[in-house]
Chains A and B, each alone.
Chain A
Amino acid sequence: MSDESRLARSLVSEIHEVSAKIGRQVRLMEVCGTHTVELRKQGIQSLLPPLVTLVSGPGCPVCVTPSGYIDNAINLVTEGRADVATFGDLMKVPGASGRTLSSLTGSGRVKLVYSPHELVEIAKGRGHPVVFLAVGFETTVPTIVSALLEAREQGVHNLFLYTAFKTVPPALRFLLGNPSHGLDGFILPGHVSIIIGSDAYAFLEGIRPGVITGFEGMDMLVGILELLRQIQRGERRVQNAYPRAVKSGGNARAVELIERTLEPRTEMWRGLGPIPGAALGLKAWLSESDAEKTLGIPPAVDREPPGCLCSRVIAGMSTPPECALFGKRCTPDDPVGPCMVSSEGTCAAYFRYGSSR
């Protein structure tokens, strides 16, 4: 047996021991959608003792974007006001109207991008407004504003951002305000934390245990073990179990870039409603690059498809199998709600990798 498998085994057995010592059911929320996928894909969930329940959190950016945002984006194209550029995840999400951006790909006016740095050349090549659907958490935010500034520096002024940026710490605070979740601890997002740093979770100290966790199998086992140990000892601390990437102050350049270009706003989170200060919008000095202001985009309404439990799943209040549509009318090939569309959506992860322990 390799060193690595030996270590994994001892971590799993330690997790079982500590769970037995705690002697009651504990609910741990993995905040990040990438963790939702990796915990199931790598089979970590199936190795956990029955007393440990993993609850998926709101960390799938596409899933928490209101359905009306999609309709607004579609209208930009169909009304001929702008071309739209987007990450692939958003293409198949139905708007409140049931329409999707992917239905417009034939028009040549919806451009799929893998990296925001492509935006500069895309905008240069088109004589009319190009609106980027700026959806993402702190990990993605600096990459998008960096591309916007690069475009402006090069004199490219037909690139606009339609921002739906979301931030994790205010969302966690909001979840803690609803004690009916019964959450015992948080598996904190590794890549968001690279940007914002471990200090950004200081508000958890004394309230709930939180462990910043990486994405390898071993990272996730260590993260879960450390959370259980804190619970057993009655501690409520923030620990950094991903120190090879995450610093206490985060990525200083990225933080400076965010603070220079964006400011906190209160916007709608699908499933959770408006969360105070949990969104980021462009500062006034960039308002001419702000699609909402320049192109007069109306506020995004949030309306759920009938029967879809995505909003409860996002809030950690329901699991996908509790939804009557799950795996029947709603599958990754023919999704009803965003939790099934996004590759990081909880429903998609349960569908692909199974919901059994």
Chain B
Amino acid sequence: MCLATPMKIEKIVDARRAVVSEGNVQVEIDVSLLKDPQPGDHVIVHAGYAIETLTLADAEERLELFRKLAELSGEAGSA
């Protein structure tokens, strides 16, 4: 039940609502739990509410972060 999905804000509707997308799917959600949501933000959505803005939505940056978190060197696992 704590399932949540990363989605991208396409349009702010009003103080409470925004249109978000994931692939070709667009839905309207509640963004009132976020501080200053902006179009283009990647947010994590749970039960129709954005619960946080995600940093590092880019896949490459994420891999780099995982490497860093795991303290693996750049060439680790290249064999």
Contact = CB atoms under 8 A, between A and B. Distances in A.
A115 to B, nearest CB: 3
Interface in A54-71: 59-62
B2 A192 contact: yes
B2 to A, nearest CB: 4
Nearest to A60: B1
A143 B48 contact: yes
A121 to B, nearest CB: 13
A140 interface: yes
Contacts of A14: 70, 72
A33 B47 contact: no
B66 A142 contact: no
Interface residues of A, number: 56
A257 interface: yes
A10 B76 contact: yes
A226 to B, nearest CB: 7
Nearest to B55: A244
A221 B69 CA distance: 11
A123 interface: no
Contact of B49 (A59, A146, A192, A222): A146
B11 interface: no
Nearest to B35: A253
B77 A139 contact: no
Contacts of A253: 32-35
A60 to B, nearest CB: 7
A189 to B, nearest CB: 7
A7 B68 CA distance: 11
8 A-B pairs with the lowest CB-CB distances in the bound complex, closest first: A115-B48, A10-B77, A143-B49, A139-B2, A6-B77, A191-B2, A244-B56, A10-B76
